[in-house]
Structure 1
Amino acid sequence: MQNELDDSGIDFVKKCIQVIERRGLDEQGLYRVVGMQSKVNSVVAGHFDAHKTVAQRLATPVEEDIELKTICSALKLYLRTLKEPVFTFKLHNRFIEAAMIDDKADRIRTLHSLLKELPKQNHELLYILMSHLH
């Protein structure tokens, strides 16, 4: 399974994060404890069902009664199965090089410049993830 980063994917990430932030920010090891694989696959497949239109996918909720570890695992699975990583294959080495710059101001300036080169949806996803993890 490989997923494209599109509006449906961004929506899935947002829905997972909303449930996680509403129900589980106080839980220990939130992203460390894994959910049952069959349930994780079901959450992801339910949102990305090929028979659904984009509008139907966007209207599909992440159920409140699903265990948090399952939702966290589904979010991680989605991110792992993207065809193109969030930081993109093209920019990967440049991000690594930028992170190794000794001068803090120069490192920040270089990283900021690289972030502007990310495709719009990658930039949006990165913003959503960093806001959640911060």
Structure 2
Amino acid sequence: MHLPSYDCVLYPNNHVESLLHLFFDCPFARSWWQNIGIAIHSTTSVEFTVEICKEDIQLPFAIEVVILSCWSIWTVRNNHFFNGLTPSLASCKENFKTEFALLIYRTKASYSPLINNWFDSVVDLL
């Protein structure tokens, strides 16, 4: 069975919307990663790129940062696709901040100072 392919919703310039493109290669996604201090280099697979991001972050909650970043990008994409909202880094940031604040409530007490410091420093960048 062949699934249909779609152009990227966030950057419609004949880019096929794949997981790799949407979350890491798309200029919108690259801007997001850059804003939180992670440089996305040439990507070959989602798995490899996630591992590189985790190495760049070098924190015990790195995978949570990656997952919530992808979720924020996905939310912006869906809001554009289904609700006609203009994609913006500001809306991505607000979603990330909301989701990350909820994550802070679920963290181990020993991680609290580290995670709060990281979050405060990133929010200043955003």
TM-score by length of 1: 0.26
Higher normalized contact order (CA 8 Å, seq sep 6+, divided by chain length)? 1
TM-score by length of 2: 0.27
